Structure formats: structure tokens, C-alpha cells
Amino acid sequence: MNPTESLKDYKRVRTLAIRSLFEIIEQSSEGTVIVDRDANIVWMNERYARRFGLNSAQEAIGRACESVIPSSLLREVVRTGRPILLDMQDTPKEPLVVMRLPIHDSAGAVIGAIGFALFDELRSLSPMLKRYLSMQEELASTRSLLRARQTRYNFAHFIGTSSASLEVKRRARRSASADSPVLLLGETGTGKELLAQAIHGASPRAHKAFVSINSAAIPEALLEAEFFGTAPGAFTGADRKGRAGKLQIAQGGTLFLDEIGDMPLPLQSKLLRVLQEKEYEPVGSNEVLQSDVRIIAATSMDLEAAIKRGEFRADLYYRLNVLPIQVPPLRERLDDLPALSEAILEELRSQHELNHDALDLLGQHAWPGNIRELRNVLERTALLSDDLLLTAADIRAAIGTFTPVTRALNPHQEPLPQETFSQARARFDRHLIETTLAQCGGKVVEAAERLGLGRSTLYKKMVALGIAESQ
């Protein structure tokens, strides 16, 4: 075969292939439309015409494509010369999957465009779309779960500059860098969960989930499933797909066990295994899952007394009590009341302020509900008061049952027999300076600043009282 015949044969095959391809797509598609360089329709098949409410395809000839197909993008294809291979197009009936291609002349110039409606009602793409939508739902669920498991609080939210508050924050910050269990001890309402979130947020696990579970808030029969998760069909009414437990959700992050003193004894032994062996089995499963979580536990219960009563396992207590942090009640950090009150009123977006008498009264109440009770009282006071300046009367009305603080007299403040005023004052000054120096690690400058004294003044008092600088 000579070159000329070969070229003719190539062109003939190419032309036949193009015509065959067009016919196959046109016949199998839900609609076909062709437009010229001005995006006016020059051809349309009958199926497509009926879909857009025309009696025949002839009614569409010569009309702008958008006047027949409102959502058409064929004009954009003609203008840019770029195809739109797969797109969703709305129609008066169901959405269609469409393909739009430019048409070129022999010189390569765009002279029009052709559009194919490939699939009707997405039937042909159903398996792919179903899988895609399933993946999208799973991704959205995971993102939502992670957002829900992010911490809201950091150490700045633990308000207070008293020595008790500063010591709590110091220990909590140090525990953040470790991976050992933390045990938060303190009365209800003292801010234990806030501290747990702050520890997680400052730890290397901060980018993972923070998951909280309250042992006292979940029925004992459901607590094990909530904690470890369930295998598919583990019991009557269980999810056929199984259910992830809090341990699995917290994988790589932090699991906060609130009110752990109320955890049933059988579950305590299983938690001990998680802490020691780093593994667990979902309810109804023989599969052993690996656990990588940091445990922070909290309780308002006296665990040592619970151990003596046989209500808490001693081995679990010792495993949890690696980094204990005693969170003081509000009555032991009354110096923090002004800052706490201001922060709470700001959080409530209130314009109210407390006068001096109101602050004094706050400092006389024992706050059995701690910071949670303080927030409740301030919110109630702000809602009931017509004045922006809150008084002691407003506070007393909002507190309800007033519990006065019982202040134990410091032994160093009690007068000794036949002790003069000067001697008692010197003894008190010595105790105060020695205590402050000890809290500041012997740093005189820091102790002077805390006592509100100049450095030279503190040195003079130390010399007069016989206090060595090494203290």
C-alpha cells in the first residue's frame, strides 16, 4: 500500500470512528445537543427536547442554549475551548451527569460545542456515588467527632493567683509533659475537668481527641460497653455493626475518667489491665485491641477510705495515683474571689460589677459548691438586680443558705503566755518571711515581691530576725 492510500485509509477510519462514537454516545445517552460558535442550538435529539418541555427538537433550533437548557454551560465551552468532562446539571425532572466538548474546524478554531447527558437519575453511577457519599458521611462524622472532642479550656482558664492556685497550676503544667496517669482530687465544682482539659491541651497528645466519661452518670449495666465498646450483635439490641467505646475513640489522645470512685469493682479490674497491659477486649468479642491513651482520673471521694471499705481496688489506686494533684476548695483560696468573679461576669457577658461590700460578703461564705456555686450566684444576682453595681444585699439574696467560713487560728498567731506585743510581732514576722522564702525556693527577690517589700527592706528584717539567706 502506497503512502497516499495509507493516508486516505487513516482518514476514513478516523472519520468512521468519530461517527460511530457519536452514534453510540447519542443513542445510549439521555440527551444530546450541539451549538454553534454563538452558542445557538443547531441540533438536539428528541429525548432531550422533551425533557425540557418542547414538543419537538425542531423548536430548539436557532435558539440560545440557555433559553432551552437554563443551566447549560455550553457557551463557556465555546468561549474557553476547554471541555467539561463530568458535571451535574439540574433539569425540571432529575439531575443529570453531563459531558461538554468543544468542536474544532480543520484549522483548530472552536466553531461550536456538543453536550451529552450521560446518565439519568444517576442510576448508572449509583454504586460509585453510594460509595462516595458513604466516604463523605464517614469523613464528616470523623471531623465532627474530632471537633466535639477538642478541649475548650487551657491553664489561663484556671483563674487565681493565690499560693494554693499557683501550686495547682505548677503541678498540672509539669504533668502535661509526662504520659503517666494523673489523679485530680477535690470537691465537686473545683474545676477538675477544666484542669484535665488544660493538661491535655499542653501535652504532646493535644492534636488527638480528649474523651470524657463520668462513671457516676452511666448505669452500671451500660458502663462496660460505653468504656470498651461492643462487638457486632454482642447482645440483644446491640448495633449490628458494633460500637466503638470511649477507649477506642480516645486512641492516641486522653481519656478523662470523672468520678472514678463510683466505678464498679469488676470494671476497675479491667481498667487496671488497660493501664498495665495496654490492651482490652470489646464486649462480646475475642479480639484484643491495643490501647494508646493517657488516663486522667478525677474524684471527689476519699479513695483511701473507699479502699478500707472494700469499694475501691488498692492496686488501681496506686496505679492511678502516680501524679496526684489536690485541687483546693474555693474556701481555701478566697484571695482568688475578685479575679474569679470578674472572669465569670465577663463570661456571662454581663455589665455588672461588685462593690466592696459585695466582695467582702463573698469572702465570708464557705462555698460548699465551690466555683460552680459562685457562678450560679453571680448569674442569679446579675439577672435579678436592676443596678449595674451589685451590693452585698444583692449577693446575700442570691446565695440563699449562707454558710459562714470557719477560720482556724494559725498557731503562730496565737499569743504565748507572758509574751509581749513586740515579741509576738517578731515571731509572726519570722514565720511569715520563712514560709514565703520556702515557697519561693529561697529566692529573696521573689519573696520580697510577694510580700510587697523592697529587697533591701526584706534583707534588713531577715538580719534583725536572725533569718539566714539560705532559707
Q: What is the DSSP string of 170-203?
A: HHHHHHHTS-S-EEEE--TTS-HHHHHHHHHHTS
Sheet-wide strand order for 84-89 = 41-44, 31-36, 110-120, 96-104, 84-89
- Residue 28 is predicted with a pLDDT of 64
CB distance 359 to 341 below 8 Å: yes
DSSP 410: P
Give one DSSP letter per residue of 81-116, joined into a string. ---EEEEEE--SSS-EEEEEEEEE-TTS-EEEEEEE
Low-confidence ranges of the chain (pLDDT < 50): 148, 408-409, 471
pTM score over 0.75: no
Closest CA to 342 of 152, 160, 154: 160
Please tell me the predicted confidence (pLDDT) of residue 130.
65
Distance CA(293)–CA(275), nearest Å, equals: 9
CA distance 249 to 140: 15
Would you state the pLDDT for residue 200? 95
Q: Tell me the residue type at 314.
A: A
Nearest CA among 330, 387, 389 for reference residue 364: 330
Q: How far is it, in rounded angstroms, from Cα 116 to Cα 72?
A: 11
Q: What is the pLDDT of residue 244?
A: 86
Reported residue count of the chain is 471
Cα gap 300→49, rounded to integer Å = 75
What is the torsional sign of CA 458, 461, 465, 469? positive
Q: Are 118 and 98 in contact (CB under 8 A)?
A: yes
Distance CA 179, CA 171 (A): 14
Long-range Cβ contact pairs of 244-248 (< 8 A, separation 24 or more):
245/282, 246/211, 246/213, 247/274, 247/280, 247/289, 247/291, 247/293, 248/282, 248/289
Residues 200-221: tens digit of each pLDDT: 999 999 999 999 999 888 888 7
pLDDT of residue 260: 94
